[in-house]
Amino acid sequence: MTKQTTISLIAAMSENRAIGLNNALPWEPIAADWDNLKKVTKGKKMIMGRKSYDNPHRIWSEVGNYVITRQADYVADEGFEVVSSLEEAFEKCKSDDEVFVLGGEEIFRLSIPYADKIYLTLVHETFEGDAFFPEFDESEFTITERKEFSAGQNTPYDISILTYVRK
């Protein structure tokens, strides 16, 4: 993997780090978060785990998507390419300027050591979850952008949208 490709993670998590419940977001849709996601990922390829891919409300890119699974015979929809590892997906994106990792929990855990940027939306509530955003050493990153939204400002919850860049 050449360092010319920026590896970016994009996620939303609650105060207790929940990112999913029953293969869906544990909160009602947050327009401000979706608007940010669409803006920063536009024209970029996306990497996701099979469980994220299987979500009926999955996120995808018009320019290319990679689904990581250990299932050798797994068949994905048109516009999605099946790969067996994160490293294989990164290799296929090595000529791109930036690629986004969308999760879920295991894929985020494996991706954090490679991450150049983390776009992280903090939902300032606690939600039940069965998938969680992994802990990471925030001292290895600088927060370069912070957007605050109060409930009622295109969001049903108070949220912070943070951009972390590796030092």
Domain-wise residue ranges, the chain:
6-166
pLDDT averaged over the chain? 95
C-alpha R_g of the chain: 15
The pLDDT, as a whole number, for residue 3 is 56
Low-confidence residues of the chain, pLDDT below 70?
1-3
Q: Which of 94, 104, 109 shows the shortest CA–CA distance to 6?
A: 94
CB 42 within 8 A of CB 134: no
- Going by the DSSP 8-state scheme, the letter that residue 134 receives in this structure is P
Query: Which CATH superfamily, name and number, covers 6-166?
Result: Dihydrofolate Reductase, subunit A (3.40.430.10)
Share of the chain above pLDDT 90, in %: 94
The pLDDT, as a whole number, for residue 2 is 43
Residue type, 48: M
The answer to whether the predicted template modeling score (pTM) of the entire model surpasses 0.75 is: yes
Start-to-end Cα distance in the chain: 19
The pLDDT, as a whole number, for residue 83 is 98
d(CA 20, CA 128): 8
